Amino acid sequence: MGKIQNCMYVVCLLCSVTLNILFVGRDVYVSGKWEVGWSRRAAEEAEAVAAVSCSGHGRAFLDGLVVDGSPVCECNTCFGGPDCSQFSASCVADVDSGDPLFLEPFWMQHAASSAVLVAGWHRMSYSFNDHSSISQELVKLIRKLHAIVGNANTTGRFIVFGAGSTQLLNAAVHALSAHNSSAPAKVVATIPFYPVYKSQTDFFRSVDFQFAGDTSLWKNSTSDPTSNLIEFVTAPNNPDGKLNKAVLQGPNAKPIYDHAYYWPHFTPIPAPADEDLMIFTISKLTGHAGSRFGWALIKDKDVYETMSNYMSLNTLGVSRDTQLRAFQLLKVVTQRRGREIFEFGYKTMKDRWEKLNKALLMSRRFSVQENSPQYCTFSGKVKRPSPAYAWLKCEKEEDKECYGVLKKAGIIGRNGTLFGANSSYVRLSLIKTQDDFDILLHQINKLVGEEDGGKSSM
């Protein structure tokens, strides 16, 4: 009798466990096969937020403000109201930052293929199974990307990941500095240069390196065996879009090539970059500046190991979630051999440049850089560059404080003095939202129209 009771108890226990498993997992185990059910709620939440109407002048986000249980629109510059439909006519054109939101419509058109749903238990470890902090599948995809675009030679190169290009820039300076030298390495760049080169180098105040200004000041120092010169070479350049090359030559000159903008939507690709140390980022490739992901292609093993050690001590590598998102985005980019995103990006930038040049055509007061056509190996065509920024110059002596002139006219750019240039220059960002560009164009047309005492309206 006791044995029967024990058997019945075991049977009941097994039945109870089985039923609990079935009820708990009812969303994932249907008709004898496992289905993805646990992700349904997350997907529904994401799609509900994406569907919030912001009148085409803003976006709602999963991690944004919520009022009365509903996500709130975050409006573009000069727009407001619950659905971003209210335009402020007195608003200024804020084109200071390099936020690459011009690519946002592309990703909305590719919502399904670019979406990433991250499980709560995704990559919780400090490292991957190979004990590294780098996804080898992402490494393969990056090499494939460069092969498709033809903008960099990855053969025989090591790859290091960083939080955007910003972290990698200082990691490179650290790696190229002589750590036992009696004098710090001199870090230089050709005017006009990206302000972060100076501000970041000054910020870290290392005994191993210091910022030493314009490259031209050090041309005669490359033959000095005691000197150590590290040159930032930006191609295309920020702010003027030029395909710069290293100025300093010799055994003591060590260039760091910043190729953040070396993609077909900004410039023709004449040949693959083939330098010893090259830095790229998805910020200006896909537009995902907030994801903070970049990579360096490095020829020298010692430099690679020093940069890798820097990354390990600094942040223990790049977030695994960020690497997953970058992986998904680059899969979309490499579809159809990159044609979709680069054609979209180039068309958008080309259109903006054509409208800006037309607006400034009759101006005797303002000018922007000329962009000469060049053959692009990626497109197989001769194309004009379509840089991310307009490097605007105030031509008249009375307008030499150009930043103030533009600000008074309702345009906020970035002062040329921050790039080491004189105050007659201002950088205008052309890669923000369409709203930002339209407001900029309106203010430019108005400003040029006033040169002859004329008036213009929107």
Q: Using CA atoms, how far apart are residues 159 and 161, in angstroms rounded to an integer?
A: 7
Which class for 42: exposed (0-12), middle (13-18), buried (19 or more C-beta within 10 A)? middle
Strands, E assignment, 60-180: 66-67, 70-71, 74-75, 79-80, 86-87, 93-94, 158-162
Alpha-carbon distance of 159 to 113, in angstroms, equals 26
Query: What is the structure's pLDDT at 219?
Result: 87
Alpha carbon separation from 342 to 99, 271, 348 (Å, rounded): 18, 17, 10
pLDDT the model gives residue 37: 80
Give pLDDT tens digits for 365-421.
999 999 999 999 999 999 999 999 999 999 999 999 999 999 999 999 999 999 999
The pLDDT mean for the chain works out to 91
Contacts of 14 (CB under 8 A, 6+ apart): none
pTM of the full structure: 0.90
Cα–Cα dist 77/91, whole Å: 8
Tokens, residue 73 = 């629109």
pLDDT tens sequence across 56-76:
999 999 999 999 888 999 999
What pLDDT is attached to residue 425? 98
Q: What is the mean pLDDT of residues 350-366?
A: 97
Tokens of 171: 């990691």
Indicate whether 4 pLDDT > 80.
Answer: no
* Residue 65: both structure tokens together: 């403000």
High-pLDDT (> 70) share of the chain, %: 90
**What pLDDT shows up at residue 453?**
63
CB 281, CB 260: distance < 8 Å: yes
- Per-residue confidence at 30, pLDDT binned at 50, 70, 90? low
Tell me the pLDDT band of 224, cut-offs 50, 70 and 90: confident
Which amino acid belongs to residue 312?
S
Whether residue 258 is predicted with pLDDT greater than 70 in this model: the reply is: yes
Q: Would you say residue 447 has pLDDT above 90?
A: yes
Roughly how many angstroms between the first and final C-alpha of the chain, as a whole number? 94
Q: pLDDT band at 227, cuts 50/70/90?
A: confident
Contact between residue 128 and residue 134 where contact means Cβ atoms under 8 Å apart: yes
Distances (CA, A) of 328 to 84, 161, 438: 30, 16, 31
Confidence of residue 32 (pLDDT cuts 50, 70, 90): low
Tokens of 69: 């249980």
In this prediction, residue 376 carries a pLDDT of 98
Minimum mean pLDDT among 150-159, 215-224, 326-335, 377-386: which range?
215-224
Q: Name the pLDDT band for 16 (thresholds 50, 70, 90).
A: very low
Angle between helices 434-449 and 339-360 (to 10 degrees): 20
The reported pLDDT for the residue numbered 31 is 53
Residue 22 above 90 pLDDT? no
Strand, coil or helix: 88: coil
pLDDT digits (tens, 9 = 90+) for 116-149: 999 999 999 999 999 999 999 999 999 999 999 9
- The CA distances from residue 265 to 96, 104, 348, in Å, are 20, 14, 8
Q: Which two tokens stand for residue 165?
A: 């290009």
Query: What is d(CA 254, CA 290) in angstroms, rounded to the nearest whole number?
Result: 30
Distance CA 110, CA 334 (A): 13
Tens digit of each residue's pLDDT (9 = 90 or more) over 84-100:
999 999 999 999 999 99
Start-end of H helices in 184-253? 196-204
* Weakest-pLDDT range from 130-139, 224-233, 252-261, 367-376: 224-233
CA distance 383 to 408: 35
221 near 254, Cβ under 8 Å?
no
**pLDDT at residue 38, as a whole number:** 84
